[in-house]
Structure 1
Amino acid sequence: MNLPNTITIIRFGLIPIFIIMFFSTSSNAIVYSILIFILAGVTDMLDGYIARKYNLVTKWGQAMDPLADKLMQLTVLICFTIKRFLPIWVIVIVGIKELLMVSGGLFLYTQKGKIVIAANQYGKMATVLFYVAIISVAFRLPYYIYLVWISVSFTAYAFLQYAKIGLKEVKMKEIQKTP
């Protein structure tokens, strides 16, 4: 187990800590839970940076890193929806997108010759916008709902970009198979 993978495991551990803190009766529960959320985001960037810089990329890390990220994001959305910080449509749209991403990724890998779509600038930007939107909602910053709309819209756009790349990869794979 290398350092980036250990950091990913820590991110999985931050999920229940976020939930416990978010629903605690502490007067600073939202501040502490958002700090945990931010810590998860920082460790997400850190483990990827370390893995690439020191050539510590593993198959386990490639699979578990995005899973830890998505589980944290969905956990935050569920918690925010339960407490009515966010309307239900946000989690419906993001949940459908994540379900399609996971099922599409599994399909491309298992049925189309182990095609893997790497993270790109659209996905990374969607993640950054998600963090900004969640922090703005948590602290009820002015116009936070617009940031939520922008984040969800960009998430949908990023999904379309991933789908486009996936279709292109499938076509390239089929062309390579043709004798």
Structure 2
Amino acid sequence: MNVPNALTVLRIALIPTYLYIFFDPFPYHISIAYLILILAGLTDIVDGYIARKYKLVTPFGTMMDPLADKLMMMAVIASLFLTERISVWATIVFFMRDLAMIVTSAFYHIRGKKTVPANAFGKVTTVMFYIAFTLVMFQFPYGEPVLWMVIAFSIVTSAVYLMKVRLLNKLYVK
């Protein structure tokens, strides 16, 4: 297992750690859970950089890296919903979008189809989600409206991504 893949596995392991600490009632638990979330985000940046720079991209990393990101984001949304920081509708729309992305990616991967690498819109969306999570987690004013704007933006970027994947696979029919 190479370093980028090990970082992806670490990010997956951080999910239950985040949830355990987020829901534990000890003082500063939200701040510590937030630091775990930031650590997960940093491992995502580092593993992608190392994989590309040193040509360590693997089929495992190609599939598991985005899945690890989605699972962490879903854990954060679930924790925010269960602590009544966000509405059920924000939770449902977020989960529907992420589940659709996971299922679609798995469908293309299993069928041996090509996918496109993450683009600038996807990276901007991730940064925007981290900003929205910060606002909501620490209960700043307007946290959920900001989250709704990011969810809307993520739906648009997901649609663009899926159109690119479909176009790529029409051009390169096996």
Offset at residue 70 of structure 1 (A)? 0.7
Q: Structure 2 unaligned runs (5+)?
A: none
Match of 2:3 in 1: 3
Task: Answer whether contact 1:94 1:155 (CA < 8 A) is retained.
Answer: no
Identical positions, percent: 38
| Number of the residue aligned with 2:118 | 119
Amino acid corresponding to residue 100 of structure 2 in structure 1? L
| Cα distance in structure 1, aligned partners of 2:21 and 2:86 | 18
The number of residue pairs the alignment matches comes to: 174
1:21 corresponding residue in structure 2: 21
Contact 1:105–1:117 under 8 Å retained in 2: no
Answering whether residue 165 of structure 2 is matched by residue 166 of structure 1, we say: yes
Q: Match for residue 91 of structure 2?
A: 91
Residue 107 of structure 1, CA deviation: 2.9
- Report the TM-score when normalising by structure 1: 0.90
Runs of 4+ aligned residues of structure 1 deviating over 3 Å after TM superposition are none
Rg (Cα) greater in structure: 1
Structure 1 stretches of 5 or more lacking a match?
A: none
Question: Residue in 2 aligned with 1:44?
Answer: 44
Structure 1 residues 57-68: aligned runs within 5 Å: 57-68=57-68
Quick check: 2:67–2:102 contact (8 Å CA) kept in 1? no
> Hey, what's the Cα distance between the residues in 2 that align with 1:149 and 1:51?
32
Residues 127-166 of structure 1: matches in 2 within 5 Å? 127-166=126-165
